[in-house]
Amino acid sequence: MTVKEKYESAKEQYGKLGVDTDEVLETLKNIPISMHCWQGDDVIGFDHDGPLTGGIQTTGNYPGKASTPEELMADIEKAFSLIPGKHKVNLHACYAIFEEGERVDRDKLEPKHFAKWVEFGKKNGIAFDFNPTCFSHPMAEDSLTLSSPDEKVRKFWVDHCKACIRISEYLATEQGSPCAMNIWIPDGMKDVPADRLGPRARFKKSLDEILAIPYDKEKVLVCLESKVFGIGMESYTVGSSEFTISYAAKNGIISLLDNGHYHPTEVVSDKIPSMLLFNDKIALHVTRGVRWDSDHVVLLDDETKEIAKEIVRNDAIDRVLLALDYFDASINRIAAWVIGMRNMQKALLYALLSPNKKLKELQDEGRFTELMMQQEEIKTYPFGDVWNQFCEMNGVPVGESWFADVKEYEENVLLKRN
Ligand code: RNT
Ligand code: ZN
């Protein structure tokens, strides 16, 4: 049977549940995911030669990592050729591209340092999101940035974030659509603090200063990401969940929830509906923590599926800014992108293919036996046949056939890099 024939049969089965698969495929096609450029080069960027700092870490030494803008762009193009639909690229400030002999520090970055990315985006029909890079820098050596008691350091990072707002606005203008700009700082303490309030007060002051610059709020969607701990910051994190959610709510910016940034039994899927009740928009970093915030590649696991369900069944597709955030240096980096992106899409597809209205009714009517039965039976519906049809319709390889393409690229391109 062809992909199409299998799809027709699946369509009939889902139809009996009241799910219109054609409609589902159209919806899925229009859900953009922001693909993090930093999976391509182990979160290094082009503006420094130092290590990755800030309490985050990549492990592994798989060959072929991108180390120039040209290489990273080529790798992104390759990944996108294997991912169905139209997506965004999430850039970090450290991916600035300088002219030969030119180099400015992060507090002096300008839109022109991202002109090559804009050119790349226009050529490929890709829009961008953006992030200040408050780590991997001499001014962030002790992992204190926007909360630093050293006024010189604090001001440097305030200026950096202001520059990033201007760059985000430039990106939005050039691409003709909003740019989400996410602020995350590593700031924290290895050991028991003597003052938990002071650093948070300084962080608050810094954010106030950053957001005070004039910018177009329709174009730049400023987000603020929380964290529970980082390596070397085990005892105290300045940008805690309470801090970021409160700050965002009070100041009209967007809360960003990274599902690696909570205590291990706390799940982001359960937070989404609460956040949706009180916020016009929320932002997500979908990742996979294994025992800690390890940033493993996103799989089609239960929590990824639950996150997708909370977006889909609460009609929040347009209210959730969806981005991925992981960095695995131990496997082929393009495959890591493709697997994670396709898995996020599969999770969304799975949610779209659920008879959500019917399941909700069963819950409200207290018919819990039937609810359990139905939720479990759906698991063996021909989901894969619908997914394959989606890939075929969108002109990307079906099933595992994309991997041969990645292997060929590895052979011909990645392994030839030094
Ligand atoms: C770190 C945060 C942050 C970074 C990226 C590179 O724990 O999740 O989002 O991973 O900005
Ligand atoms: Zn994150």
| Cα atoms found within 13 Å of the Cα of residue 79, Cβ hemisphere only | 28
**pLDDT tens digits, one per residue of 165-222:** 999 999 999 999 999 999 999 999 999 999 999 999 999 999 999 999 999 999 999 9
Is the Cβ atom of 284 under 6 angstroms away from ligand 1? no
Residue 287 CA: which ligand 1 atom is closest? 8
**Does residue 93 line the site of ligand 1, with CB under 6 A?**
no
For residue 193, tell me if it sits in a domain: yes
Q: Is the CB of 184 under 6 A from ligand 1?
A: yes
Please report whether residue 158 resides in a domain: yes
Cα of 293 to ligand 1 centre, how many Å?
10
- Per-residue confidence band for 412, with pLDDT thresholds at 50, 70 and 90: very high
Counting ligands in written order, which one lies closest to the CA of residue 285? 2
Residue 169 in contact with ligand 1 by CB distance below 6 A: no
What integer pLDDT is reported at residue 418 of this predicted model?
A: 78
Enumerate the H helices of 178-223 as residue ranges. Answer: 197-211
Give the Å distances, CA to CA, from 401 to 75, 225, 270, 321, 392.
18, 36, 35, 30, 12
Nearest Cα to 315, choosing from 273, 267, 268? 273
Domain count, the chain: 1
Q: What percent of the chain has pLDDT over 70?
A: 100
For residue 382, being part of any structural domain is answered with no
Is 389 domain-assigned? no
390 Cβ inside 6 Å of ligand 1:
no
Question: Is residue 379 in some structural domain?
Answer: no
Q: Are 215 and 169 in contact (CB under 8 A)?
A: yes
Position in ligand 1 atom list of the atom nearest CA 325: 10
How far is it, in rounded angstroms, from Cα 37 to Cα 75? 10
What is the arithmetic mean of pLDDT over 350-360? 98
Phi, psi for residue 137 in degrees, rounded to 5: -155, 145
Q: Identify which of 35, 38, 41, 184 to mutate to test ligand 1's pocket (most ligand atoms within 8 A of the CB).
A: 184
Determine the pLDDT at residue 348: 98
> Stretch 131-138: mean pLDDT, rounded?
97
**Active site residue ranges:** 184, 225, 227, 258, 261, 285, 293, 295, 325
- CA-nearest residue for atom 2, ligand 1, is 184
Residue 184 CA, ligand 1 centroid: distance in Å: 7
User: In the predicted model, what is the mean pLDDT of the chain?
Assistant: 97
The finding on whether 285 has its CB within 6 A of some atom of ligand 1 is yes
DSSP 265-315: T--HHHHHHHHHHH-S-EEEEE-B-SSSS--BPP-S-HHHHHHHHHHHTTT
- State in Å: Cα 293 to ligand 2 middle: 10
In a domain, 391, yes or no: no
Distance of CA 58 from the midpoint of ligand 2 (Å) = 14
Q: Say yes or no: CB of residue 326 within 6 Å of ligand 1.
A: no
Q: Give per-residue pLDDT as tens, 11-24.
A: 999 999 999 999 99
Q: Which tokens hold the place of 50?
A: 């130092």
> Residue 258: CB within 6 Å of ligand 1?
yes
Tokens of 363: 């819950």
The boundaries of the domain holding residue 186 are 22-355
Structure letter (DSSP) for residue 233 = B
Cα–Cα distance measured from residue 77 to residue 73, given in angstroms and rounded to the nearest whole number: 6
Which tokens belong to 43?
């979160």
Distance 324 CA to ligand 2 centre (A): 8
Q: Is residue 189 part of a domain?
A: yes
Residues 77-118 have pLDDT tens digits of 999 999 999 999 999 999 999 999 999 999 999 999 999 999
Is residue 141's pLDDT more than 90? no
Half-sphere exposure of 394 (CA within 13 A, CB side): 25
pLDDT in tens, 294-353: 999 999 999 999 999 999 999 999 999 999 999 999 999 999 999 999 999 999 999 999
Give the tens place of pLDDT for each residue, 160-173: 999 999 999 999 99
Our measurement of the distance from residue 222's CA atom to the centroid of its chain's CA atoms, rounded to an integer in Å, reads 14
User: Around Cβ 86, how many Cβ atoms within 10 Å?
Assistant: 16
Secondary structure, 3-state, 82-118: CCCCCCEEEEEHHHCCCCCCCCCCHHHCCHHHHHHHH
Q: What is the pLDDT of residue 142?
A: 87
Ligand 1 probe mutation, 237, 258, 262, 286, most atoms within 8 A of CB: 258
Ligand 1 atom with minimal separation from the 293 CA: 7
Residue 392 falls within a domain, yes or no?
no
* pTM for this model (two decimals): 0.98
C-alpha 42/C-alpha 309 separation (Å) is: 30
pLDDT at position 129 is 99
What is the reported pLDDT for 143?
87
User: For the chain, first and last CA: distance in Å?
Assistant: 45
pLDDT value at residue 366: 98
The pLDDT of residue 154 is above 90: yes
Structure tokens at 143: 């992992």
CATH number at residue 138: 3.20.20.150
